[in-house]
């Protein structure tokens, strides 16, 4: 099979050296497709999920275009000779903004480009100082950028390149008015890139407003998550989820597990219950201070904490390697969110497992998810106190009267270690029961 080389993308030497230092051998599909267009100066509309290499797909050509260390042109000099911002990257969350910043730093390690990141939740003074000294690339969340604009710390009239990353999430989070206020201050003549994991109508409308003659690049449709991921589901009543999670984590070999809850309060509760059971876990969500979030992420990245509990918004765009299990403690009503969540595991061809807790009221959501990913979530295997159903729901309407009565817990199995995926390994075993419950 022919694999493109980074050299063929005509990136400059300092960038090729940085790519080699990062250990990348070949461009990912989105990089191979998007980089040439961005280098040509075209506007690009990219449908791409986290994990596809999308950040390098825009950061590398941007750094190339900014030049490797040449002085800014006179019209790019700001006040007191400081550099004017030439590239503005907007991202929905602090974590994603920081990750983008880290990527610019890493790919720009042999360039003289200056970059900084600003986001809320932390003190503004240090950000103000760096902004006033001048940077070429500014990565920002919309709210904090508007703050700095209002304070007169930043001027966008030198922006030549604009990136909106995870545009769908920015819209979900209600940033559209902020984005429009920011765009009003950016020169009309510029190159714009819009990246989004999904392409609902509001995104198509926004892209029409901000892109001119864009090239569309689509590498992995949101409906086709990485094939290396196995999808399993546990049929469980709401009140029994907490017990199931503890049992599951105690009986499943995993390297890192990312647990999703619907609410911030729910995330804290899960952490409390896990801690009580002696399982070290941390939560990240919008109510946590930036310091607490950074600490929790660092502990998870380093492997000190093996379980991270997150809300969708906080976890959006997180790039953490080696997440072996994504656990949907609360199933999401939006099937696209399921795809975003499980995109955290099975990265770069590694295998991963997505486990979902499904209660009766999630039945419709489950059907929507399965339809979107064109895959049925298989009933996961037995665990101590949990007996796997043969099917999640499909056969329920036709369930013979003699089947186990609803909600009784059916028969309980004896504790058995490492049983998570056993239903798959032991075809045909076990009683034919459609409903199960977890010991409380
Ligand atoms: P992203 O989709 O930008 O969040 O990137 C996902 C991960 O892929 C990051 O950890 C990158 O370091 C990594 N990555 C990006 N480009 C490449 C590449 N060409 N080869 C290998 N890994 C890459």
How far is residue 99's CA from residue 234's CA, in Å, rounded to a whole number? 33
Strand order in the sheet with 115-118: 115-118, 137-140, 87-90, 161-164, 191-196, 44-47, 215-218
Please state the atom number of ligand 1 nearest to the C-alpha of residue 48: 2
Distance in Å, CA 53 to ligand 1 centroid = 4
Q: What percent of the chain has pLDDT over 70?
A: 81
Q: Calculate the average pLDDT of the chain.
A: 82
Lowest-confidence range among 2-6, 191-195, 436-440?
Answer: 436-440
Please state the atom number of ligand 1 nearest to the C-alpha of residue 106: 12
Q: Whose CA is nearest to atom 5 of ligand 1?
A: 53
pLDDT, average across residues 400-429:
31
Q: What is the pLDDT of residues 142-199, one digit of tens each?
A: 999 999 999 999 999 999 999 999 999 899 889 999 999 999 999 999 999 999 988 8
Distance in Å, CA 105 to ligand 1 centroid = 14
128 has pLDDT over 50: yes
For the Cβ of 52 lying below 6 angstroms from any atom of ligand 1, the answer is yes
CB 130 within 8 A of CB 110: no
For the Cβ of 53 lying below 6 angstroms from any atom of ligand 1, the answer is yes
Split at pLDDT 50, 70, 90, the class of 232 is very high
Split at pLDDT 50, 70, 90, the class of 110 is very high
Distance in Å, CA 39 to ligand 1 centroid = 19
Please state the atom number of ligand 1 nearest to the C-alpha of residue 52: 2
How far is residue 316's CA from residue 290's CA, in Å, rounded to a whole number? 15
Distance in Å, CA 49 to ligand 1 centroid = 11
Distance in Å, CA 155 to ligand 1 centroid = 31
Mutation test of ligand 1: which of 5, 46, 50, 55 has the most ligand atoms closer than 8 Å to its C-beta? 55
Task: Check residue 221 and give its pLDDT.
Answer: 46
- 413 CB contacts (<8 Å, ≥6 apart)? 382, 383, 384, 385, 386, 387
Instruction: Give the pTM.
Output: 0.59
Task: Check residue 223 and give its pLDDT.
Answer: 40
For the Cβ of 343 lying below 6 angstroms from any atom of ligand 1, the answer is no
Q: What is the pLDDT of residues 372-402, one digit of tens each?
A: 776 788 899 888 888 888 777 754 443 333 3
pLDDT, average across residues 206-235:
78
Please state the atom number of ligand 1 nearest to the C-alpha of residue 55: 3
What are the residues facing 308 on neighbouring strands?
Answer: 258, 282
Please give the distance of CA 297 from its chain centroid, rounded to a whole number: 13
**Pairing of β 229-235 and β 378-379:** parallel
Cα separation of the two ends of the chain: 53
Q: Whose CA is nearest to atom 21 of ligand 1?
A: 24
Task: Check residue 109 and give its pLDDT.
Answer: 94
Lowest-confidence range among 111-115, 313-317, 346-350, 420-424?
Answer: 420-424
Task: Check residue 125 and give its pLDDT.
Answer: 95
Distance in Å, CA 225 to ligand 1 centroid = 16
Task: Check residue 130 and give its pLDDT.
Answer: 95
Q: Whose CA is nearest to atom 16 of ligand 1?
A: 53
Compute φ and ψ for 230, nearest 5 degrees.
-100, 140
For the Cβ of 56 lying below 6 angstroms from any atom of ligand 1, the answer is yes
Distance in Å, CA 115 to ligand 1 centroid = 20
How far is residue 194's CA from residue 199's CA, in Å, rounded to a whole number? 11
How far is residue 132's CA from residue 169's CA, in Å, rounded to a whole number? 30
Lowest-confidence range among 133-137, 284-288, 352-356, 408-412?
Answer: 408-412
Split at pLDDT 50, 70, 90, the class of 342 is confident
Q: Whose CA is nearest to atom 18 of ligand 1?
A: 24
Distance in Å, CA 121 to ligand 1 centroid = 27
Distance in Å, CA 48 to ligand 1 centroid = 12
Distance in Å, CA 343 to ligand 1 centroid = 13
In the chain, the domains with their CATH numbers are 6-218 (3.40.50.300), 231-413+430-438 (3.40.50.300)
Please give the distance of CA 18 from its chain centroid, rounded to a whole number: 24
pLDDT, average across residues 344-359:
78
Better-scored residue on pLDDT, 285 or 51? 285
Q: Whose CA is nearest to atom 15 of ligand 1?
A: 53
């Amino acid at each position: 099979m022919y694999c493109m080389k980074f050299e063929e993308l005509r990136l400059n030497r300092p960038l090729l050296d940085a790519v080699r230092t990062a250990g990348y051998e070949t461009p990912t599909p989105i990089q191979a497709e998007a980089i040439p267009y961005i280098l040509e100066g075209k506007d690009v509309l990219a449908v791409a999920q986290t994990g596809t290499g999308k950040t390098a797909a825009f950061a590398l050509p941007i750094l190339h275009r900014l030049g490797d260390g040449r002085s800014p042109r006179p019209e790019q000099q700001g006040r007191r000779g400081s550099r004017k911002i030439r590239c503005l990257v907007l991202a929905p969350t602090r974590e994603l903004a920081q990750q983008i910043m880290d990527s610019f730093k890493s790919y720009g390690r042999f360039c003289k480009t200056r970059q900084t990141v600003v986001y809320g939740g932390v003190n503004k003074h240090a950000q103000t100082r760096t902004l006033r000294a001048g940077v070429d690339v500014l990565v920002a969340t919309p709210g904090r950028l508007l703050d700095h604009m209002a304070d007169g710390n930043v001027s966008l009239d030198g922006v030549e390149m604009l990136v909106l990353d995870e545009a769908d999430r920015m819209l979900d989070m209600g940033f559209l008015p902020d984005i429009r206020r920011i765009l009003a201050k950016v020169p009309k003549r510029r190159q714009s890139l819009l990246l989004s994991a999904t392409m609902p109508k509001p995104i198509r409308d926004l892209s029409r407003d901000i892109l001119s003659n864009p090239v569309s690049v689509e590498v992995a449709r949101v409906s086709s998550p990485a094939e290396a991921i196995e999808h399993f589901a546990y049929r469980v009543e709401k009140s029994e989820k907490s017990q199931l999670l503890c049992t599951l984590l105690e009986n499943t070999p995993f390297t890192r597990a990312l647990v999703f809850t619907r609410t911030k309060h729910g995330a804290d509760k899960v952490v409390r219950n896990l801690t009580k059971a002696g399982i070290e876990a941390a939560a990240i969500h919008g109510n946590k201070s930036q310091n607490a979030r950074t600490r929790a992420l660092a502990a998870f990245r380093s492997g000190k904490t093996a379980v991270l509990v997150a809300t969708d918004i906080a976890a959006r765009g997180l790039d953490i390697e080696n997440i072996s299990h994504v656990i949907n403690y609360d199933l999401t009503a939006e099937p696209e969110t399921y795809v975003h969540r499980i995109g955290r595991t099975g990265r770069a061809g590694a295998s991963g497992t997505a486990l979902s807790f499904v209660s009766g009221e999630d039945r419709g959501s489950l059907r929507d998810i399965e339809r979107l990913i064109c895959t049925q979530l298989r009933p996961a295997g037995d665990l101590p106190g949990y007996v796997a159903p043969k099917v999640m729901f499909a056969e329920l309407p036709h369930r013979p009267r003699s089947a186990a009565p609803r909600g009784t817990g059916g028969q309980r199995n004896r504790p058995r270690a490492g049983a998570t995926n056993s239903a798959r390994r032991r075809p045909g075993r076990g009683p034919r029961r459609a409903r199960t419950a977890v010991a409380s």
